[in-house]
Structure 1
Amino acid sequence: MLESWGARVTSATSATALAAVSNGQQPDLLIIDYHLDNNVTGIEVLHELRQQPGLHDLAAIVISADPDEVLREQAIAGQAGFMPKPLKPAALRRLLKRYLK
């Protein structure tokens, strides 16, 4: 979906792969699932990424199929957007516009 909107997408399937993929890159936005491998959360990975030089202000959207309001609150507390799955294109576009000023 993002590529059809003209975005360049780099993907990773685990927290370890994300760290490797992001090394040296400065993405405009990170969309990350809340539930990752090895009981690591997307919010924890986001926090680690933001410790890297040049990524302190990394814009992020946390996604999850779990509709728990606590997850939304954690994302917001971590200064990230939150979007439930399944992703709705119109809602995703609105969040992208907000975070990619």
Structure 2
Amino acid sequence: MAFNVLVVDDSAVMRAMIIKTLRLSGVPLGEIHEAANGKEALQVLDRHWIDLALVDINMPVMTGEEMLEQIRQNPETADLAVIVVSTEGSEARIEQLRRQGAQFIHKPFTPETLREAIINTIGGWDAPETGSGPIQSGRFDF
């Protein structure tokens, strides 16, 4: 099974780094969509089937938290797997996001860290124990 992924971050460079890390993680990928803020992301969700959203917190127009609230209120997207990817360090804020059903990983992160978060969020996929391909090790500084 290949997963359709939505990457939401106001930085085009950061979106590119997240996508590169995602491709290196060995996770089976289908379509990858991008959005620069929560409002754009909701529009993508209206038009495309998305299995997983990787979302920054601090963005203009609509923050990741506001987007997550909207996703959870919509019956069509309420069960969407969401991983918040941020430099945010506040434990209270991270706990709030987890209460809304989102996983959290800190930037910077490795392909292995991202893969583990995806497995914890989605529950795995039909692939050998090692995944759909080799994991490329390395650390990206965001």
TM-score, length-scaled by structure 2: 0.62
Q: Which moved more, 1:76-85 or 1:47-56?
A: 47-56
1:52 aligned onto 2:74: yes
Structure 1: gaps (5+ residues)? none
Deviation at 1:45, TM superposition (A): 0.3
Query: For the residues of structure 1 that align with 2:93 and 2:105, how far apart are their CA atoms?
Result: 10
Query: For the residues of structure 1 that align with 2:65 and 2:118, how far apart are their CA atoms?
Result: 18
Q: 1:23 aligns with which of 32, 46, 55?
A: 46
Query: Greater strand percent: which structure?
Result: 2
Deviation track 1:31-79 (CA, whole Å, cap 9, x = no partner) reads 10011114x4312201202333421111111121122212211211111
* Letter of the structure 2 residue corresponding to residue 80 of structure 1: A
Q: 2:108 aligns with which of 71, 86, 91?
A: 86
Deviation at 1:85, TM superposition (A): 0.7
Query: For the residues of structure 1 that align with 2:23 and 2:118, how far apart are their CA atoms?
Result: 13
Q: Contact conserved, 2:52 with 2:80, CA < 8 A, in 1? A: yes
Q: 1:70 aligns with which of 92, 102, 106?
A: 92
Q: Which residue does the alignment assign to 1:37?
A: 60
Q: Which residue does the alignment assign to 1:3?
A: 23
Instruction: Flag as ranges the 4+ runs of structure 1 deviating above 4 A.
Output: none
Q: Number of residues paired by the alignment?
A: 100
Deviation track 1:6-45 (CA, whole Å, cap 9, x = no partner) reads 423111012221122111323111110011114x431220
TM-score, length-scaled by structure 1: 0.84
Q: Which has the higher contact order (CA 8 A, sep 6+)?
A: 2
Instruction: Provide the identity percentage.
Output: 29
Q: Which residue does the alignment assign to 1:97?
A: 119
RMSD (CA atoms): 1.7
